Amino acid sequence: MLYANSPIPLYKQLYRQFRQAIDEGELPVGEKLPSERKVAADYGISRITARKAYDILRQEGYVRAFQGKGAFVAQSLTHAYNHTPVRGFSEVILTMGMTPSSKVLSCDVVPVNSEIAHHLNVGNLDQAIKIRRLRLANGVPMALESTYLSYPLCAPILKVNLEKSSLYRTLREVAGIRLDHADQSLQCILTSDRDIQLLSLVPPSAVVKLKRRTYDVGGHIVEYVESIYQGEVESLKAFAGFGSG
């Protein structure tokens, strides 16, 4: 319900109602929103008012419009988990009673951009090891993962077949790096990235985006990870401590 006598403009009232519904999960990521015409008719307002509310939602990234398809909820609230224990992907999948496996898509030493430099706490001119892997459970694609590792600290892993060896075990046993904890976030997003076809999804699709920084026992950042997972945030919360090992 909108209140014509409120000091808050009608479009802002409408925006706040949609925003609250998205934040509380009443409108899940991937849900198609009603047309501006329908919203205007349902609330007894002009289409211009409805459009202004939608414009704010789009500007803030909560809604994405696809030509010929309409507007869809594009992101949920971000769930942050700080100082979590470090558990590798393989370990978690095993606890779920499934068999983990990985397909390495690339493994290279690359220059870091400003965003990755920030997350690894290195300079913009530094390099990092970038590993892109498709993670599977019982042979079914579950996650598409990009891992950035401090270089040359983690250089020994370049000689290891990460389709047969655990990254975290290799860091510990070959590079002598003892991981201690991680800070990470989970957020459901709508993506049109064609890479998600590797997860047997058709863009645009709703996925869970994970961002993670992993620290060693000395408090130094060793790893930064960006992954997209099939499923929902709620289904992954129980495993918020897992990483890319």
Of the candidates 18, 4, 7, the residue with the CA atom closest to the CA atom of residue 54? 18
Window from 44-48, 149-153, 165-169, 230-234 with minimum mean pLDDT = 230-234
Are 21 and 132 part of one and the same domain?
no
Residue 104, domain extent: 79-237
Half-sphere exposure of 43 (CA within 13 A, CB side): 26
Are 150 and 231 part of one and the same domain?
yes
Is residue 5 situated within a structural domain? no
The predicted model scores a pTM of: 0.88
Whether 208 and 236 have beta carbons less than 8 Å apart is answered as: yes
The band of 63, judged by pLDDT with boundaries at 50, 70 and 90, is very high
The band of 6, judged by pLDDT with boundaries at 50, 70 and 90, is very high
Is residue 21 situated within a structural domain? yes
Are 200 and 166 part of one and the same domain?
yes
Question: According to the model, what pLDDT value does residue 179 have?
Answer: 96
CATH of the domain at 149: 3.40.1410.10
Q: Which residues pair with 102 in a beta bridge?
A: 135
3-state secondary structure (DSSP) of residue 13: helix
Q: Where is 75: in which H helix or E strand?
A: none
Are 64 and 151 part of one and the same domain?
no
Question: According to the model, what pLDDT value does residue 154 have?
Answer: 96
Of the candidates 200, 193, 88, 206, the residue with the CA atom closest to the CA atom of residue 140? 200
> Whats the size of the chain, residue-wise?
245
Per-residue pLDDT for 161 more than 70? Answer: yes
Per-residue pLDDT for 193 more than 90? Answer: no
Are 150 and 39 part of one and the same domain?
no
Are 152 and 84 part of one and the same domain?
yes
CATH of the domain at 64: 1.10.10.10
Last residue within a domain, chosen from 39, 54, 73: 73
**Quick one: DSSP state of residue 156?**
G
